[in-house]
Chains A and B, each alone.
Chain A
Amino acid sequence: MKLRSKFSLFNALSRVLIILLLVGVLPPVLSRLALLTTDERLAQKKEKVLKIIQRNGISAFLDESSPETYGSYNLLKEEFISLEQIQPGPRINTIENSRRAVEDEIVDYRVLSYSFPLNGKNYLLEIGRSVGSIGETEANFRRYALYLLVVVGLLTTLADLAFFRYLLEPLGTIIHRRLKNVHNPASFNLEPVPTSTDDFRYLDESIREMMVTIRESFVKERRFIADASHELLTPLAVLQYRFDNMLADESLSDENLLKIVESQRTVHRLRSIIKSLLLISKIENEQFEREDTVSVAGLVAEVSEEIQDRLALHELRLHQQLSGNFTLTGVNRGLLFTMLFNLVNNAVKYNRPQGEIFLVGRPAGGGYTLEIRDTGLGIVKDFLPQLFARFHKANSADVESYGLGLSLVKTIADLHRIQIEVNSIEGLGSSFTLRFPPPAAPFR
């Protein structure tokens, strides 16, 4: 999972956790808050009533028609006020829940009771608010609190995400820029990634230093192979031509001719090895132009024509099953021919007598796959991981092979961004699948 995704996930989870926690803690807190608010309001109302009594006298509530008690409640019985004359006793100043009968029903109230003396008499003032209406206030509190929580949670999550994005952008650029073309040190992009974060700057500098070192040794290795190959080839070519000329000498005995032929074969072997190494080195150095347009069907036809005499020699049958046609653009025709020829030639060389070779092509995901399958010896499982390594021979009994054919195939495939998949069952045969990329994919 990407770092940014992990951050986002953690962020979202922590917000959810906080909200859940608050949802659990809030009800008792809000309940208490609603109660306190109610008590506060009851106390305020008490003060108001006392002020009215102070200003207008007790007769504002207790008149001649009802000299001892006064009671009033609103239509929905949410609130009531009562005032009555009481016997002298200890002062009362409480707020508590109590049940009161109002008309024909019993209602739970939060009641403030307050006694006070006036003009030599004692009075009890009670102001009540129904517990049901307090619950409504509490529900309102809860609703608004939840809205607020969600909004705050969302806003902080978005703000965090935006900041993470901004913060991690240089890391993304480092990964993208440094790891792109990682297999081709010659085209490493060494431009520094701008960032104000010291850790990222240090990371980028360290990676760049490593890349420079890798590139230098890579270039040195390539140059060495190219130089050494070229310098070795010239004297070998001289030897080869000299042997050719010696073979033309009719006065030489057959015994001497045989020695020359043996020497010529050794020289040829050396030349071929160096030639393949030079070819691989040139491909890796991107010295081949890729401007051709080739159809897979055309390529297959060209290779199968070239291989006909070898098929006949081993009495092999070649089956071509190509569905749809696929055109490759921006490629090197000669190199692609070499790649396919080597694979089909291997299918010939390592087949059983009167065996079969299948060339099966089909469109796949916008690209194309071409499978080269044989009914031959197969490859030992342990050899598969090293199959494309230089000088690695899949069949150790093959004394003529240099172990460079598949390495060359892989180098050409890599240059053209063609993937190779190998499947093999010992004793049954091998299958090499070439996966050509979709035409829109730009080449390196």
Chain B
Amino acid sequence: MNVLIVEDERSLAKELAFFLYQQNFQCEVARTGHEASELLAVNTYDFVLLDLGLPDCDGLDLLTEAKAQEITAAIIVLTARGEVADRIRGLDLGADDYLAKPFSLPELLSRMHAITRRRFGVAKPLIQFGEFALDLQNRQLLHQGQEVTLSVKEFDLLSYLVLHKNRVLTRLQLTEHIWGNLPEDGYESNYIDAHIKNLRKKLTRYSELPWLETVRGLGYRFSL
């Protein structure tokens, strides 16, 4: 998943990016409101970590602008301001969560997981389909309690499809959300098919996989 970190404090932004990268997120950093607004217009993100105290604008204005653009990313407001008024205003403007500095990085991660579950209507961290169970928190796929070895991208692909169950995901959407916003010339998505093929091959070794279907001309759908 793609994360935009909007934070003017360079060392904090770097730490956040490093931590999230370790957790298999693709990260980009904006140090000003202007830069953030530009990146939001250019790229597609799953999460925006928004610091309210930006050098060139109020973070809450950026939040308003982003929501007006109907962005699909979840927004977590990060700020040193612990005041209730700010917190309420942020949440009212459409932020998905609020973290007061200083916060611990594992706490941020578990909030992000919680938001993901909430957004996709997943009650438990373990999502069951047939004899398989997908553990989002620990990044594991289990078959009858035994771990199935998947590559990082295969796991990301499967979990993204599972989370967006019953809806068609285009190759473009999958590329953007899983491979991040690579600035490349042209649109190449055939390699997604190769990953899906590998995923199918690995999973059908254990049991049939009726949930993952190819929607001709569109993309893929995980029906659950």
Contact = CB atoms under 8 A, between A and B. Distances in A.
B187 A400 contact: yes
B217 interface: yes
Among B43, B72, B170, B190, max chain A CB count under 10 A is at B170
A278 B185 contact: no
Interface in B43-81: 43-44, 69-72
Given A250-B167, A257-B168, A271-B42, A313 B187 contact: no
Given A233-B42, A250-B166, A264-B170, A405 B187 contact: no
Given A233-B38, A254-B215, A247 B167 contact: yes
A257 B187 contact: no
Interface stretch (A104-112, A121-129, A234-242): A234-242
A338 B185 CA distance: 11
A381 interface: no
A180 interface: no
A242 to B, nearest CB: 6
Contact of A275 (B69, B72, B167, B183): B183
A401 B187 CA distance: 7
A405 B185 CA distance: 5
A313 B166 contact: no
B4 to A, nearest CB: 13
Interface residues of B, number: 35
Contact of B185 (A234, A245, A306, A403): A403
A130 B199 CA distance: 119
Given A265-B172, A275-B42, A309-B153, A408 B70 contact: no
A234 B69 contact: yes
B194 interface: yes
Contact of B218 (A241, A250, A258): A258
A261 B218 contact: yes
B72 A244 contact: yes
**Overall SS of chain A's interface:** helix
B74 to A, nearest CB: 13
A274 to B, nearest CB: 8
Nearest to A274: B42
A338 B43 CA distance: 15
A56 to B, nearest CB: 115
Given A341-B182, A401-B185, A313 B69 contact: no
Nearest to A405: B185
Given A240-B44, A254-B215, A261-B170, A401 B38 contact: no
B188 interface: yes
B125 interface: no
A400 B186 contact: yes
Contacts of A276: 183, 185
A264 B172 contact: yes
A346 B188 CA distance: 11
A349 interface: yes
Contacts of B111: none
B142 interface: no
Contacts of B173: 244, 247
A46 to B, nearest CB: 106
A279 B194 contact: no
Nearest to B40: A237
Given A244-B72, A245-B72, A248-B167, A268 B41 contact: no
Contacts of A91: none
B83 interface: no
A71 to B, nearest CB: 113
A310 interface: yes
A403 B184 CA distance: 10
Contacts of B153: 309
A349 B164 CA distance: 30
Nearest to B183: A338
B187 A309 contact: no
A310 B43 CA distance: 22
Given A238-B69, A241-B69, A310-B188, A261 B217 contact: yes
B42 A278 contact: yes
A345 B41 contact: no
A272 interface: yes
A99 interface: no
B185 A237 contact: no
Contact of A342 (B38, B185, B187): B185
A279 B188 contact: no
A100 interface: no
Among B72, B170, B183, B195, max chain A CB count under 10 A is at B183
A405 B167 contact: no
B172 A268 contact: yes
B194 A312 contact: yes
A404 interface: yes
A78 to B, nearest CB: 98
B217 A258 contact: yes
A341 B184 contact: yes
Nearest to B185: A405
Contacts of B44: 240, 244
A63 interface: no
B158 to A, nearest CB: 15
- Across the A-B interface, give the 10 residue pairs with the lowest CB-CB distance, nearest first: A405-B185, A400-B186, A233-B41, A401-B186, A313-B194, A237-B41, A241-B70, A309-B191, A275-B42, A313-B191
8 contacts: A237-B42, A244-B173, A245-B70, A247-B169, A258-B218, A268-B172, A276-B183, A309-B195
Interface of A: 230, 233-234, 236-238, 240-242, 244-245, 247-248, 250, 254, 257-258, 261, 264-265, 268-269, 271-272, 274-276, 278-279, 306, 309-310, 312-313, 338, 341-342, 345-346, 349, 398, 400-406, 408
Given A250-B166, A309-B194, A313-B191, 6 more contacts: A241-B69, A244-B72, A254-B215, A258-B218, A264-B170, A406-B185
